[in-house]
Amino acid sequence: MARKFFVGGNFKSNGTTTQIKSIIEGLNQASLNPNVEVIISPPAIYLPLAKEIASNGVQVAAQNVYDKGNGAYTGEISAAQLKDVGVNWVIIGHSERRALLGESDKFVASKTKAALAGGLSVILCIGESLEEREAGTTIDVVTRQLKAVADEVSDWSNIVIAYEPVWAIGTGKVATTEQAQEVHAAIRKWLRETVSDKAAEETRILYGGSVTDKNSKELATQPDVDGFLVGGASLKPAFVDIINSAA
């Protein structure tokens, strides 16, 4: 089965009502490659707005979900609440949450399990820090992060993996095509050995970290790069060129 190219836009904590409307209207009017699955992820407060106005095949993802149901969890949002407003995707394990908020591999895995059980599809973010890359432990780190999820989840058909080296996020320092392909191939090998041949063949593995319209075409040529998770550049008109860079 061919893996459909996938491009996600993570708006992080950026945007106002006016700005988010304008970004989405730009995407609605753009000529987007129909062979690319496109997801945008605005801050939670703008999810219903995004759902209401996004067209042209653009889907919407939350940037987080809690691993419990509805209840006494102040400030959190459940999978059921995301589904209630028509959101079918969630980003889990972003390095900004792992690093700044101390989210552990175990918590990321627990949230992934809860999201899948609640009917959401998951963009699961993994990636090594600069120190870990320099120590030569990149593959150990990403497979450790993946294993925590595999301990909780056996069906990977609603998971998209985003490999995002922490040193490349928001720094302007993109991984080379060789660096990206090497890690993506190792992730696919891990899927084959740990989950199943089917998961290895069908799971989309995105690259994230300073992707722009200038570097996306070359990255997209790599056999194990099935798309991108884009931060800063997803707020700009050039996001359309990144979407259309599918090889």
Binding mask 187-206 for ligand PEP (x = CB under 6 A): --------------------
Residue 127 interacts with ligand PEP (CB under 6 A): yes or no: no
State which of residues 169, 191, 206, 246 lies at the interface with ligand PEP (CB under 6 A): 169
Separation between Cα atoms, residue 5 and residue 230, nearest integer Å: 14
Q: Which CB sits closer to ligand PEP, 36 or 233?
A: 233
What CA–CA distance (Å, rounded) separates 70 from 45? 17
CA of 188: how far to CAs of 116, 192, 242, in Å? 21, 6, 23
CB atoms under 10 Å from CB of 5, counted, come to 22
Q: Binder to ligand PEP among 170, 214, 221, 247 (CB under 6 A)?
A: 170
Applying CB under 6 A, the site for ligand PEP has a residue count of: 14
What does the alpha-carbon distance between residue 73 and residue 165 come to, in Å, rounded to a whole number?
31
- 230 touches ligand PEP by CB under 6 A: yes
Q: What count of other Cβ atoms lies within 10 Å of the Cβ of residue 25?
A: 13
Question: Which CB sits closer to ligand PEP, 124 or 230?
Answer: 230
Contact 229, 125 (CB under 8 A): yes
Is 94 part of the annotated catalytic residue set? yes
- Footprint on this chain of ligand PEP (rule: CB under 6 A): 10, 12, 164, 169-170, 208-211, 229-233
Catalytic positions are 94, 164
